[in-house]
Amino acid sequence: MPLQIASLIKYLKSLNKKDIINFIYCLSLAMVFWLLNALSNQYNSTLNFGVKYIKPALGNGTNVIVNDYDLPRQLQININALGRDIVWYSIASYLSHIEIDLSKKMLNSKNRTKGFINSNELFKSVTKKLTANVNILNVEPSVINLKFDKYYLKKVPVKVDDKDAVLPSGVYKNNYQTIPDSVEVSGARNLLVSRKVWNTVPVEVNETGKVHEVDIELSQIKGVNVNPNIVKLIIEPDRYTENERLVKIKKVNIPRNIKITTFSKEVKVKFNAPISLIEDIESE
């Protein structure tokens, strides 16, 4: 083997520039003829096209698809076609998609909770993308199942999720205000009919304990549209503060044969309390 390699290297070194150019030209020409012949033959192949679902505008009288997020996002199409068509559609599968119109299904499903797109309907959608020269063998999945529910829209207050927030030192609690204070939610009725509030994502409290504003996202549920999905959150910490009160001295539980006299009728008491509770603290 080493002898053969050495002989090949010796032969290549013996070629002049003109011989090398002729060799490359002949090799390129042979490859072109081979490629043209290969692209003219019939082959079986598989194409993977992305799917775009066409839906009507949502509103009264329109049903929504509950399992929208579970619908296939890609169709596997097994075909028999010329090599050149396979190459062309392989490139096209990365640059375009197959459209499946769900409008009629959604508008005509008033009293139904289930539906499907059968194999014939899928074939029709696929043939709009592929030419008549391509023989479609089969499409996977062969059936797309649909689940329907009534379209529902409501306005609900925003609730700040601070159950996991750690309060900074010296802070009793945080007071929150969101702008706006309510949002519109729309989607499947069974997901929304019992909803009284809409939570934010868990809030992170500023450790400095100062008043500050942040933009915060609202929690997301599959199949539900939240508008707007980001609100402005104003965080105002309720800090502990030092205060004082004059408290009257009251004698209790004194035995009958003992007399106790105090030099003052009241005493000044200093204490720490949340700012929000200061006005509620009364001296007795």
| 162-195: pLDDT as tens digits | 888 777 778 888 888 999 999 999 988 888 889 9
Q: Which of 61, 55, 54, 57 is closest to 150 using CA atoms?
A: 61
Specify the 3-state DSSP secondary structure of 205.
coil
Using a 10 angstrom Cβ sphere, with 0-12 exposed, 13-18 middle and 19 or more buried, the burial of residue 10 is exposed
Nearest to 160 by CA among 191, 197, 186: 197
Cα 73 from Cα 65, distance rounded (Å): 15
Per the CB < 8 A criterion, the answer to whether 223 and 182 are in contact is no
Q: Compute the distance between CA of residue 93 and CA of residue 46 in angstroms, rounded to an integer.
A: 11
Q: Which residue has the tokens 């042979």?
A: 30
At 185, which amino acid appears?
A: V
pLDDT digits (tens, 9 = 90+) for 206-259: 665 677 888 999 999 888 899 999 999 988 888 888 888 888 888 888 887 888
**pTM as predicted:** 0.62
- Please give the structure tokens belonging to residue 30: 């042979």
Q: How many CB atoms lie within 10 A of CB 195?
A: 14
